[in-house]
Amino acid sequence: MPIYTEWYDTDKTILLTNFHDAWTWREFEAHEQTVVLPLLDNVNIQLGRVLDLRQSHWLQPMQFKDQIKNTINTLSEFDIACMCFVVGDISTGALLEATFKQFDSRGYCYYKAVNSLQSGFTQIQECLRESNSIQVSA
């Protein structure tokens, strides 16, 4: 399988998904349903997600927007406060950020493209810290 997901931390606040080589939207949907959703079902706290796309060949423009909408709808019941895309080029990152923001009707998830896993983890940790401080003070 060209897609693999695991918890980055033992507290289950960051979910890491790695994409390798070529993959299809059908494989992605199956992975979300059979791997990601069961992992999220056991978590009742706010979390972040890092998608590492640097080693993949993924862009299939014909279905791109529809698949992003489906992904957002599938994950909408979970408290995902931030999502980082680890990409090799800025244009791919900008496309992902803009498309996810366009279709996220909740409007409170933070999307950011970065160029390294460490940057992604740092962004998620900062986002969760900020989000939790806002919730505590509200």
What is the CATH code for 3-137? 3.30.750.24
**Per-residue tokens: 131:** 């989000």
Residues 81-90, buried b or exposed e (16+ Cβ, 10 A)? Answer: bbbbbbbeee
**Span 87-101, pLDDT tens digits:** 988 888 888 888 888
Strand (E) or helix (H) holding 33: none
d(CA 49, CA 86): 11
**Span 26-69, pLDDT tens digits:** 888 899 999 999 999 988 888 999 999 999 876 566 677 788 88
d(CA 135, CA 47): 14
- Per the CB < 8 A criterion, the answer to whether 117 and 14 are in contact is no
Q: Output the pLDDT for position 108.
A: 64
Domain ranges of the chain: 3-137
| Mean pLDDT computed over 79-86 | 89
Distances from the Cα of 49 to the Cα of 18, 24, 72, 96, angstroms? 11, 20, 12, 14
- Per the CB < 8 A criterion, the answer to whether 32 and 4 are in contact is no
Q: Output the pLDDT for position 120.
A: 93
pTM, full prediction: 0.83
